[in-house]
Structure 1
């Protein structure tokens, strides 16, 4: 049994919607605040949901390929975030380390502390089977890429 173009689009867009709902659930129900990289991973999922709605009303591969690009973007950010969490590389200094404290006044230092991000990007707040949310986002998003590409190569019935 082969899946129709619309079913593939629905699966990919619904997958992104489910990831977004899960992220918001962890944030608001699980009291796990997102870091900057977590927030960055959400935007391409939101775009994929909108692209999915538009792609259902059109023909041709353009929108499904754009959906694949959105899913690939969040997968790349998720992979980057995983690397930051596992100390494979450094993340953004705004969410992984402190700014140097030499040469600034106590008031400026206090202002930096008060305006600092609450959640660090290099700390894992939740994992399942040894993989963080960023890692699971990468895996799921790569599956969504495959669905989007499969939809792009199918002819609309």
Structure 2
């Protein structure tokens, strides 16, 4: 139980769990063949931001710089909370609770002539941000990302709390 109050242990859990989530997303894309939409790709950015910050916070904790590591872990929590919000937004759009983005469907450059248009149509694979391509237990990729990001945000907040408590020791 004492390990759960260790900021280093909590930051390590945030780091390893975050790496597992982003590796899973890449695995579904590369191995599973699921093409991510623009909003799915946007939901990966918090991982690319928060995980390096977590590594830096761990380095600060190793040097007993708990005030600075507290600030970093608060930023990590905010970044993952933003990621959870993106996941909720997309999942809600997939369920039809609200409208999704109108420009989500792929980055296609305009062809220069009619011949290019016909060739481009055969190669373009548009992926909608408002249609779930996969679900498990009722949650889509976006829904699972909302759950994972929210959990990581809570863990990062707990880490910040225990890191702050260690500032004087």
Same fold, judged at TM 0.5 (above): yes
The structural deviation recorded for 1:89 is: 1.2
- Write out per-residue CA displacement over residues 29-76 of structure 1, whole angstroms, 9 at most, x where no aligned residue: 000000011001000011111011000122221000011011101100
Show the counterpart of 2:93. Answer: 84
| Residue correspondences, number | 145
The structural deviation recorded for 1:144 is: 0.8
Match of 1:53 among 47, 55, 63: 55
Structure 2 residues without counterparts, runs of 5 or longer = 61-65, 106-112
Q: Is the 8 A contact 1:94 1:116 kept in 2?
A: no
Structure 1 residues without counterparts, runs of 5 or longer = 97-105
Q: Is the 8 A contact 1:44 1:70 kept in 2?
A: yes
**Once superposed, what is the RMSD of the aligned Cα atoms?**
2.1
What TM-score, normalized by structure 2, do the two folds share?
Answer: 0.78
Q: Distance between the aligned counterparts of 1:116 and 1:87, measured in 2? A: 25
**4+ long deviations beyond 6 Å:** none
The structural deviation recorded for 1:95 is: 1.8
Match of 2:154 among 140, 146, 150: 146
